[in-house]
Structure 1
């Protein structure tokens, strides 16, 4: 019976390298253990090009050198994830400046236009008769992110 000790790819490089397309199963949790995302919640493995900037840099860096079947747990500080929470990204605006403002509810996400013409998602945090407070921080800003990663495919 033949026993396989390691896998040597055709290009001679073992494991994931820049430019590879990888598929990973993952679970993302917060410090309190709550799951914020997973490949199961998304319907299957996450596929991305390593070095393509499609996922968080720390997540991308973690898969480098991994091989099919390898598992790894990583912790990303806010600076490596979605950034620190910034009060500069919280703004109170007149309620009348929002179309259909009678339907507003807290925790609703809106797409807001910035002065430079770009658009950014914002979450309504407070509503009064006169104003609406919008939080333009990413919902995971300021959070430490924990990921369990398993490489399931490399191409």
Structure 2
């Protein structure tokens, strides 16, 4: 890939953008504006849903796009198979296990996977490995900074 600038977002473009994700109540769930570091998106690489990419196709530098996506096209639906109950003894004693805490778990292949503590009852800990925004309809605000081939 080159850093050659294109005029519009195409199906294989690399797009540098400020991205803000809002919940339906208007609260901000995440934003690159907080860090001041826009994010690169690679169109067509499978990282984003077709519905998401469809809003960007044809956009130009400095365009600000605002669109709503249902959960299935944003971060996916909640998958019950991604919720696990673990015995509290499986957690290191030096960490605080509280509802809402996000912990990193090492998978058998060595990859790290974040899990959210959803409930603690007696010796059972309910850990949710779904994306934190899974099941949420969201609003995206995308400000295109740069388009590259």
TM range (shorter): 0.7 to 0.9
- In our comparison, the structure showing a higher alpha carbon Rg is 1
Q: Larger relative CO (CA 8 A, sep 6+): 1 or 2?
A: 2
Deviation at 1:144, TM superposition (A): 0.6
Tell which deviates more after alignment, 44-53 or 112-121: 112-121
Deviation at 1:90, TM superposition (A): 2.2
**1:43 maps to which of 17, 36, 46:** 36
In the other structure, the counterpart of 2:55 is 62
Unaligned runs of 5+ in 1: 1-9
Deviation at 1:143, TM superposition (A): 0.4
> Which SS does the other structure have where 1:147 is aligned?
strand
| 1-structure distance, mates of 2:121, 2:94 | 11
Structure 1 residue 28 and structure 2 residue 26: aligned? no
Structure 1 length-normalised TM: 0.76
> Which SS does the other structure have where 2:30 is aligned?
strand
Unaligned runs of 5+ in 2: none
Tell which deviates more after alignment, 46-55 or 122-131: 46-55
The one-character-per-residue Cα deviations of 1:100-135 (angstroms, maximum 9, x if unpaired) are 266322222223355787653211122244221111
In the other structure, the counterpart of 1:122 is 115
Structure 1 residue 53 and structure 2 residue 52: aligned? no
| 2-structure distance, mates of 1:38, 1:68 | 19
> Contact conserved, 2:74 with 2:138, CA < 8 A, in 1?
yes
In the other structure, the counterpart of 2:83 is 90
* Structure 1 residues 153 and 104, CA gap change in structure 2 (3 angstroms): same
> Contact conserved, 2:10 with 2:43, CA < 8 A, in 1?
yes
In the other structure, the counterpart of 1:154 is 147
> Which SS does the other structure have where 1:18 is aligned?
coil
**1:111 maps to which of 83, 104, 107:** 104
